[in-house]
Chains A and B, each alone.
Chain A
Amino acid sequence: MTATSLQFKPIPKQTPETNTLTRLCAEKLTLKHGKTSIIENLDVSLPEGKVTAIVGPNGCGKSTLLNGLSRIHSPSSGFVLLDGKDIHSLPSKEVARRLALLPQDTLAPDGITIEELIRFGRHPHQSLLKQWAMDDQQAINYALNAADLEGLKDRLLDTLSGGQRQRAWIAMSIAQETPLLLLDEPTSALDLGHQIEVFELIRNLSRQGKTLAMVVHDLPSACRYSDHIIAMKKGEIITQGSPKEVMTKELVRELYGVECDLIPDPMTGSPILINMKRVRS
């Protein structure tokens, strides 16, 4: 099975929340590393049921923003609102039932199987008294199915390809059964085929009603696999909107100091960068 021909099985659609407000947003958010502020007074919200890609040059604060939105990084001022409530005022477990996070610095313990990894995703639904229930196994089967890992569930994580491994981590987040999923550079360190494998899974999850946000480095992939792009530079949002509106020569130049031309992909219509040249600043 080649990565490009990867077909995800149809999965029953999750009931979308009848909530017209965005579920996750930040208001006047300031995030600091020590004394240097990375992000100041930022307002941002994630559009419902869509894939949002956060792009920008290294050190622009995109991962910091993602950490802020997922309560890993506490704000110095301002708020992150989850369903209208301050995310830091909600119990952490409660947050974990609504928002899943896949960070970059994941560690895989020796000898863990895919299914065992996915089981960790059920932690927010368990407690000292409620250890393991039917719905846990159902959620795991659902996650295995959604990430197309059923045949591999007993394989050891370290014997898998990079793409399969990343899909296993995403499956762990799926088992968390949250309407929101944030991913920090889910395809970095993956080769082209595995990147597409992971991006297609992400797009599939959004079709089932999840709201996703991801930090992405590769602009063409960001355009192709997201519905909404947030472009950041020096801790500020320069522009945001649908890929076709937002992605311009001027933006690429502004973000990366790269001169280029944009042409639409003949098959999908999403922008492709050609004729790239670094501009001396």
Chain B
Amino acid sequence: MISWFYIPPAQRPLFSVFVSALFVLALCCFCSLLFGAGGLSLQASFQTLLGNGSADTQFTVFHLRANRTLIGLFVGLTLGIAGALMQAVARNPLAEPGLLGVSAGSSLAVAITLVLGASTATLTVGVAQFGALLGCLCVLGVARMQGQQNDPIRLVLAGAALSSLLLAVTSLLLLFDQRAADEIRFWVTGSVAGRDTNTLFSVLPSMLIAIICILYTAKPLASLALGERVAIGLGHKPQRVRAVVIVAVALLVGGATAIAGPVAFIGLVVPFAARALVGPDIRRTLWLCLPLGPIIVISADVVSRLVAQPAEMPLGVLTAIIGAPVLLLIVRSRRMPTL
């Protein structure tokens, strides 16, 4: 494993890196079941995991915490993959669904339906996904207006503006609504705590579609990294590929937002880490995003339970604390990696 350090990322054995990441993920899941903000001590949690718990502790560990872990798993998976796809399409290492307003669009669509009378329970995932799609098209449209991908930072500026606008409208709408402040915060910052795992099942069919989209576009996307004309010369259709990828991104981000609200920076940090580990080829990056996304979300969630005990910090706040420095790191790196 240490010898990997000397190999260029793109040449590292994908399988071994992937399996190692799976081990780390298993460790994270274990920690997620073990640690909590509540009154349950570490020892009691451990005993419960070994099967010696009371009904109460079992409920905490195997219901509350397990659900939370499951949702973190899903959110990390979807946002990490969505970020990698979006960066490949925009050829921009800063393109991230949370920063670019995709999550915010999704969140706004949800807020509008809430105001129109839907309750959180009857909300359909489709609404969130539709909002994500609109957010996607908006920001890519704005970015396209100022010419060909000349400056990666412009896309992020456009996205940040769009994102804050959409989130502001979302908070405004929800303020007029007579619901708990907690609910507002959820749709503005995102969280994996106390969410309903039943929503997970309603998301699964659309995830299947997203997977098919990804299988169909992985190869053309990889060849787009060689240049637009090279990709056409190889018989690919960049426009169609981009459209399919954007649909996949909308499905993934919409799904994640419906379940956990708009969580920013996961889509930035996860592909960044994946590229650092296995290089820029999207087919390799995507594989590694699978374990890395959940690793980052679940460990961030564990930390969010521990730093402000007995209260909790919302996940979205913590991911911003991790994500913002990474963003600065990418922007400040001498040679912004081109994708």
Contact = CB atoms under 8 A, between A and B. Distances in A.
B62 interface: no
Contacts of A100: 233
A96 B226 contact: no
Interface in A78-111: 91-97, 100-103, 105-111
A32 interface: no
Given A109-B280, A123-B219, A93 B229 contact: no
Interface string A156-173: 100000000000000001
Contacts of A176: 234
Interface residues of B, number: 27
B281 interface: yes
Given A103-B230, A106-B227, A106-B230, A111 B10 contact: yes
B233 A101 contact: yes
Interface in A118-166: 120-121, 123-124, 126, 128, 156
Contacts of B233: 70, 72, 96, 100-103, 173
Nearest to B278: A111
Interface of B: 8-11, 215-216, 219-220, 222-223, 225-230, 232-237, 279-281, 337-338
Given A110-B280, A111-B9, A111-B11, A103 B234 contact: no
B67 to A, nearest CB: 36
A96 B215 contact: no
A130 to B, nearest CB: 12
B227 A124 contact: no
A120 B218 CA distance: 12
B227 A111 contact: no
Nearest to A126: B219
Interface of A: 67, 70-72, 91-97, 100-103, 105-113, 116-117, 120-121, 123-124, 126, 128, 156, 173, 176
Contact of B10 (A112, A120, A124, A173): A112
Nearest to A124: B235
A111 to B, nearest CB: 3
Contacts of B226: 106-109, 117, 120
Contacts of A106: 226-227, 230
B225 A121 contact: no
A72 B227 CA distance: 12
Nearest to A107: B227
A176 B234 CA distance: 8
9 smallest beta-carbon distances between A and B, as pairs: A111-B10, A96-B235, A101-B233, A103-B229, A93-B235, A124-B235, A111-B8, A123-B234, A107-B227
A111 B279 contact: yes
A128 B230 CA distance: 20
Contacts of A120: 222-223, 226, 230, 234
Contact of A110 (B10, B227, B235): B10
A72 B11 contact: no
Contacts of B229: 67, 72, 101, 103, 105
Contacts of A109: 10, 225-226, 279-281
A93 B241 CA distance: 14
A95 B10 CA distance: 31
A116 B225 CA distance: 13
Nearest to A67: B229
A93 to B, nearest CB: 4
A67 B236 CA distance: 15
